[in-house]
Amino acid sequence: MTFSSSQRIPLSKDERVRYSRHLALPEVGVEGQQRLKAARVLCVGVGGLGSSCALYLAAAGVGTLGLVDPDRVDASNLHRQILFAEPDVGKRKVDIAQQRLQALNPHIHIPIYADLLNEANALDLIQQYDVVVDGSDNFATRYVVNDACATLHKPQVYASIFQFEGQLSVFHADTGPCYRCLYPEAPPIDLIPNCTQGGVLGVLPGMMGSLQATETIKYITRIGKPMIGRLLTVDARTLQFNEYAVQKNPHCLLCHHHADFYALPRPQAGCEFTLSALENDEITVQELVLMIAQKTDFLLLDVREPFEYDICNLSGKLIPLSTLSSRLPELNPQQLIIVHCKTGGRGRKAAALLKQRGFHAKNLEGGILAWAKEVDSTLSEY
């Protein structure tokens, strides 16, 4: 495999001015900047991590900076996703990110992919790039990124965040461990709250995304010591950084057993855990309207957080997903439970957990936002 950043592409006069502070560094110099110009980096996700990382990679002169993200800008993104502003709400993230990054540096090429990176497209997409920056926010995508990078012998610059804590490493199965060596399986359903549920300090993804950009630039320019075989953790409350050695796992399905990419077990796309399909266990908002009209006996269970409930609600019983396991005695196992959250993801988890514990539960497809769009437009959306 040829690593494109080993090539040397001449720098224009404008580029020499733009990158003059890099060129002044003996460890980077003209040769290092030419490697950056020749490099092809794929950013998976342009949310909190991807926003800051992509900004610095674009500014540094990475010649081809691919962006993958299927989402649109939401108002709740703006406190941490610094590529976006109020007028961007509702627009595709990759479109806005491409515009902002191209304005920052017109000398680079920015392909965009408004798709979810999944098992069907990961190999074809990732093989076009030299380095993959994993800014994903769910386990399904994270395992796909890892498995594709290991299969294709590509380095993966990993970071993750939750509340005040962050993690960083570089996984490269050719020379060190992969993500599965550290986390062979996704955590259980009730141990994996996301940013909506658990919250996140707005500056934390900026810190971790900047570190991802640092590791990417180091890897491309061949300076310093990459985080391969090392895991960095940070607690923003104390600003304490800790480093741990990570070894190849002798039981790793990928590194040790060399399992085929398509044969590897992974969490379902769109979920942060392995879960049997909830076929026939979801109802539409129109079906819920009919149930209400027919005075069907059921409990409407809202598994969002209290602050979300205060913004808008359907007068259901509020039990956040993070506390559901401990509050099951409050529920009647003989009563049908209709679960809802904001858009459906947490509701599926809650319904699955309830079913595992013997309850009869169904999830409201699309959550309260679907209700606001199709039934009651007076509800505040967020």
Tens digits of per-residue pLDDT, 179-233?
999 888 776 544 455 555 567 899 999 999 999 999 999 999 999 999 999 999 9
Range ranked top by mean pLDDT from 60-64, 282-286, 332-336: 60-64
pLDDT given for residue 274 in this prediction: 29
Upper half-sphere CA count for residue 156 (Cβ side, 13 Å): 32
Residue with tokens 């707005």: 202
Active-site option among 43, 178, 181, 341: 341
pLDDT given for residue 264 in this prediction: 87
| Cα dist from 381 to 98, 141, 198, 202, 303, whole Å | 27, 27, 20, 21, 17
Q: Is residue 276 pLDDT above 50, yes or no?
A: no
Q: Are 112 and 67 in contact (CB under 8 A)?
A: yes
Q: The whole model's pTM is what?
A: 0.73
Q: Is residue 261 pLDDT above 50, yes or no?
A: yes
User: How many Å apart are CA 218 and CA 240, to the nearest integer?
Assistant: 23
User: How many Å apart are CA 158 and CA 170, to the nearest integer?
Assistant: 6
Q: For residue 195, indicate whether it is catalytic.
A: yes
pLDDT digits (tens, 9 = 90+) for 94-151: 999 999 999 999 999 999 999 999 999 999 999 999 999 999 988 889 999 999 999 9
Q: For residue 53, indicate whether it is catalytic.
A: no
pLDDT given for residue 24 in this prediction: 97
Residues near 69 by beta carbon (within 8 Å), at least 6 away in sequence: 44, 45, 46, 47, 50, 93, 94, 97, 113, 114
Both tokens assigned to 382:
């967020």
Q: Is residue 273 pLDDT above 90, yes or no?
A: no
User: How many Å apart are CA 151 and CA 257, to the nearest integer?
Assistant: 12
User: How many Å apart are CA 232 and CA 246, to the nearest integer?
Assistant: 10
Q: Is residue 168 pLDDT above 90, yes or no?
A: yes
- Reported as a pLDDT band with limits 50, 70 and 90, residue 270 is very low
User: How many Å apart are CA 34 and CA 136, to the nearest integer?
Assistant: 29
Domains of the chain: 4-263 (3.40.50.720), 282-374 (3.40.250.10)
Active-site option among 53, 149, 195, 312: 195
pLDDT given for residue 103 in this prediction: 98
- Segment 322-344 shows an average pLDDT of 92
Both tokens assigned to 194:
């996301």
Pairing state of beta strands 165-171 and 230-235? antiparallel
Q: Can you give the C-alpha Rg of the chain in angstroms? A: 23
Q: Are 338 and 300 in contact (CB under 8 A)?
A: yes
* Phi, psi for residue 14 in degrees, rounded to 5: -60, -40
pLDDT given for residue 339 in this prediction: 96
Both tokens assigned to 285:
């908002």
User: How many Å apart are CA 313 and CA 317, to the nearest integer?
Assistant: 10
- Segment 332-341 shows an average pLDDT of 93
Q: How many residues does the chain have?
A: 382
